[in-house]
């Protein structure tokens, strides 16, 4: 995108093309809503869904944007599909489209997963148009052309700036609504799960610089997991620089083990879950899930002290006015206390629990998960 065979640069022409597409789209239908993603080594949402052209145009200023190398096309499509799914849940009866503007030099890391992503787009009725700047080296095997063909979209390649910008307006033409199964209705939940699972994205890893920064104790912000609200993972006792991750959508920090425990409690596959904060669909590798299960088995091999002994624990209720003062998360579900449920504290170790979590833990262990002392409800 940074090559100068298009004057001034391909990247600038891509931004101008996006502007011409958006301007024409809104002039045709003011109710249309557009969101814009920028993808290179990282995927960045530079503008959320809006029908305000001025807002979109300001987000597309070349001086404030940059491309960071070749992007993974599959991850970019998965990201875009997730944003569309959330929009489709809110507004029915609209045609959902993705427009890819690229120089054709993107990567895709996993061909099998890429096919799953395309099938997801097809199943959800999403049309994908592809727009390539510059000639393709192998037109017959062009991946952008294939994506558009499979999803009933349009494909075009352009060799000069004026033609590219004009084509942006042409691509903004209306599409005919095609009947597809309503996978987002409550009655189609079982059918929608495999589709949505295919576009789940992995948590973002820390960069080498971020790891070194934290290891040298230079992290003044003291990054903590937003699930357990601690720098050290409760299950593995690992520091954040060791197993810290970030949501690729909202950027919230979380331990890998905390995310895995959260994933185990969701309605999707065991390794698929929604971000607790922005509800973006995420995934954790099966190997990590197995490792966490091994840790859990070790963690549960505690000596349960019988409640007949002198040191049997009591679960003390916390008054409602003091719940807001608790600076820890629930030791069972790792969520913070918002006042929705009654809260109890173990008299032996001080661990806090939501009342529903306390009841679940009693049915499983009849003992405090942290100290092993038995108790009665």
DSSP category for residue 151: T
Say if residue 182 is in the same domain as residue 251: no
Q: Who wins on pLDDT, 89 or 342? A: 342
Q: Which of 5-14, 178-187, 326-335 has the least mean pLDDT?
A: 178-187
The domain boundary residue, chosen from 197, 228, 243: 197
- 72 SS3 class: strand
Contact 43, 71 (CB under 8 A): yes
Say if residue 186 is in the same domain as residue 216: no
pLDDT cut 70: percent of the chain above it: 79
Say if residue 218 is in the same domain as residue 128: no
Q: Determine the longest span between alpha carbons in the chain, in angstroms.
A: 84
The domain boundary residue, chosen from 251, 271, 298: 298
Asked if residue 2 is part of any domain, the answer here is: no
Say if residue 42 is in the same domain as residue 154: yes
Question: Residue 333: pLDDT band by 50, 70, 90 thresholds?
Answer: confident
In the chain, the number of structural domains is 3
- Report whether pLDDT(30) > 60: yes
Give the predicted TM-score (pTM) of the model.
0.61
Nearest to 204 by CA among 41, 85, 36: 41
Say if residue 21 is in the same domain as residue 62: yes
Say if residue 359 is in the same domain as residue 255: no
- Region 253-257: what's the mean pLDDT? 91
User: Could you tell me the residue range of the domain that residue 144 belongs to?
Assistant: 10-197
Domain of 317: which CATH number? 3.30.40.10
Q: Who wins on pLDDT, 256 or 326? A: 256
Nearest to 128 by CA among 145, 111, 103: 145
Asked if residue 5 is part of any domain, the answer here is: no
- Region 118-135: what's the mean pLDDT? 85
Q: Who wins on pLDDT, 131 or 9? A: 131
Say if residue 261 is in the same domain as residue 329: no
Say if residue 36 is in the same domain as residue 145: yes
Quote the tokens at residue 76. Answer: 């970019």
- 152 SS3 class: coil
- Region 337-354: what's the mean pLDDT? 86
Q: Which of 126-130, 131-135, 250-254 has the least mean pLDDT?
A: 131-135
| CA–CA–CA angle 10, 12, 13 (5° rounding) | 65
120 half-sphere exposure, CB direction, 13 A CA radius: 25
Asked if residue 93 is part of any domain, the answer here is: yes
Neighbours of 54 (CB within 10 A): 8
The domain boundary residue, chosen from 197, 226, 248: 197
């Amino acid at each position: 995108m940074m090559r100068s065979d298009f004057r001034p640069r391909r990247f600038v022409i891509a931004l101008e093309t996006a502007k011409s597409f958006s301007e024409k789209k809104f002039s045709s239908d003011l109710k249309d809503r557009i969101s814009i993603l920028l993808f290179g080594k990282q995927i960045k949402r530079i503008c959320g869904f809006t029908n305000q052209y001025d807002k979109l145009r300001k987000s597309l200023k070349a001086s404030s944007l940059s491309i960071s190398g070749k992007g993974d096309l599959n991850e970019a499509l998965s990201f875009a599909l997730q944003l569309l799914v959330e929009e489709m849940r809110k507004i029915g009866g609209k045609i959902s489209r993705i427009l890819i503007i690229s120089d054709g030099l993107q990567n895709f890391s996993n061909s099998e997963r890429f096919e799953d992503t395309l099938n997801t787009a097809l199943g959800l009725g999403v049309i994908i148009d592809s727009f390539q700047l510059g000639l393709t080296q192998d037109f017959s095997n062009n991946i952008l052309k294939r994506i558009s063909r499979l999803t009933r979209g349009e494909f075009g390649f352009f060799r000069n700036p004026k033609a590219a910008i004009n084509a942006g307006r042409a691509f903004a033409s209306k599409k005919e609504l095609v009947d597809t199964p309503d996978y987002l209705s409550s009655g189609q939940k079982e059918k929608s799960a495999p589709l949505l699972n295919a576009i789940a994205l992995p948590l973002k890893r820390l960069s080498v610089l971020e790891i070194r920064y934290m290891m040298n104790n230079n992290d003044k912000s003291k990054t903590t997991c937003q699930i357990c609200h601690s720098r050290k993972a409760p299950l593995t006792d690992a520091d954040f620089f060791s197993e810290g991750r970030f949501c690729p959508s909202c950027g919230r920090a979380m331990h890998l083990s905390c995310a895995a425990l959260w994933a185990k409690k969701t309605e999707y596959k065991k390794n698929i879950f929604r971000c607790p904060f922005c509800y973006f669909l995420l995934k954790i590798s099966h190997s990590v899930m197995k490792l966490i299960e091994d840790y859990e088995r070790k963690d549960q091999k505690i000596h349960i002290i019988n409640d007949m002994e002198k040191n049997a624990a009591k679960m003390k209720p916390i008054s409602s006015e003091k719940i807001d003062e608790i600076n820890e998360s629930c030791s069972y579900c790792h969520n913070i206390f918002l006042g929705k449920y009654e809260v109890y504290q173990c008299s032996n170790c001080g661990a806090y629990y939501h009342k529903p979590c306390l009841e679940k833990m009693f049915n499983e262990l009849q003992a405090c998960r942290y100290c092993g002392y038995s108790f009665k409800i």
